[in-house]
Copies of this chain bind each other. A is one copy, B any other.
Amino acid sequence: MAQITQSFIDRLNKLDFSRMYEGDFFLTWEKTDDELKAVFTIADALRAMRENNISTKIFDSGLGISLFRDNSTRTRFSFASACNLLGLEVQDLDEGKSQIAHGETVRETANMISFMADVIGIRDDMYIGKGNKYMHDVVNAVTQGHRDGVLEQKPTLVNLQCDIDHPTQCMADMLHVIHEFGGAENLKGKKIAMTWAYSPSYGKPLSVPQGVIGLMTRFGMDVVLAHPEGYEVMPEVEEVARKNAAKSGGSFSKTNSMAEAFRDADIVYPKSWAPFAAMEKRTNLYGEGDTDGIKALEKELLAQNAEHKDWCCTEEMMAATRGGKALYLHCLPADINDISCKDGEVAASVFDRYRTPLYKQASFKPYIIAAMIFLAKVKDPQATLKALEERGTARFFQK
């Protein structure tokens, strides 16, 4: 019997995730509850196998293509780790070193990089209405390429952050929460505050708060979204959150008071983001090449931002949470008062107290990405987990 993998196989046997095979991962709310549970289960299984020195290499060769249109450390290393864990070599598409500026179409580039690609991971979070659309263009192109006999395999797409969702982050956050609370079944009725927080940098992506309310409303929790007036997120995603909450037996509510959101919260996620409407305006100004307009907008946003320095996760704020001991979450890096900046998202003492759980939260991302790839590539995940354990190749060989 499979000693390490059996419990995970048992869990998978109760789930229907057959539609993930040969699929892609764009947004969490496009997946069923069973499918998300399958991702969590495979992530835990891969981790258990690595910890027990069992190789999970399913690829003997093959490329994992990454395209980062924004700076990245955590996600870049998580993607590299996930690919490496499964046996894929990362090949980064550096648009600066390529010929893409020639006016090449997405359809062409997507095919040209995919002849031996099993996975494509993309971060494209800068402009509203662009990133997710671009990922779909890539998937459409390689799907067509595979159908036309150009590509031997259809690479699977993993959304490494778009303008709408940041699914690898939020799934890692969620798996961390599940482990901290001893199982998803213990989350019913728990209160989580996804709140805006002040940062001197005013233009952070909306994908994390949107991803959090779009995902965490599915577990029967009371999800509160808090932000100053004017910092609304995309209305479509709020609608997703509302429907999720209704279905899961939890709730989704909004407030303009950080204190209200924190009161008796079991989990808090205070983080800066840019107003959706402003980001939409900025996208249009970029499209028009209106540099003066962009500068004026940035000035306005910075001024607006500076009015909300009191939105900070201080010790006082934390004291108001359930027993003063809410689980503090952040996707990192956080803007820490007097460390990364004068005024930021969180007090240094709070951050420091939660440093170990925060790092553990981040540690789930490589496994979440690997699980998304595994489920898109492997036809029978249960049998394959068992076969990997039976194969028994050591991750690290020594005598």
A binding-site residues for B, Cβ under 8 Å: 50-51, 55-63, 68, 71-74, 76-78, 80-81, 84-85, 87, 89-91, 93, 97-100, 102-105, 107-109, 111-113, 115-116, 118, 145, 148-152, 201, 332-333, 335, 339-341, 355-356, 359-360, 362-363, 365-366, 377-380, 383-384, 386-388, 391, 393-399
Contact = CB atoms under 8 A, between A and B. Distances in A.
A356 B148 contact: yes
**Best-surrounded residue of A58, A365, A383 (most CB of chain B within 10 A):** A58
A97 B71 contact: yes
9 contacts: A58-B398, A62-B396, A68-B97, A90-B91, A111-B359, A115-B363, A118-B396, A383-B399, A384-B397
Contacts of A55: 60-61
A395 B60 contact: yes
Nearest to A87: B61
B51 A116 contact: no
A282 to B, nearest CB: 20
Given A63-B81, A379-B398, 5 more contacts: A74-B99, A78-B115, A80-B89, A105-B339, A149-B356
Closest 10 CB pairs of A and B: A103-B340, A73-B98, A81-B116, A387-B399, A383-B399, A150-B359, A104-B333, A55-B60, A148-B356, A384-B398
A341 to B, nearest CB: 6
A87 B152 CA distance: 19
A113 B84 CA distance: 14
B81 A332 contact: no
A201 B333 CA distance: 39
Contacts of A359: 108, 111-112, 145, 148, 150
Contacts of A360: 149-150
Contact of A61 (B85, B332, B386): B85
Contacts of A356: 148-150
A374 to B, nearest CB: 10
B77 A62 contact: no
A102 B59 contact: no
A72 B89 CA distance: 19
Contacts of A60: 55, 57, 393-397
Contacts of A59: 395-397
Given A60-B55, A104-B333, A340-B102, A73 B87 contact: no
A58 B395 CA distance: 8
A104 B149 CA distance: 47
Contacts of A58: 396-398
Contacts of A87: 61
A363 B332 contact: no
User: A76, A340, A391: which has the most chain B beta carbons within 10 Å?
Assistant: A76
Nearest to A86: B61
A372 to B, nearest CB: 16
Given A81-B116, A116-B84, A378 B398 contact: yes
A391 B397 CA distance: 11
Which residue, of A57, A58, A99, has the highest number of chain B Cβ atoms within 10 A? A99
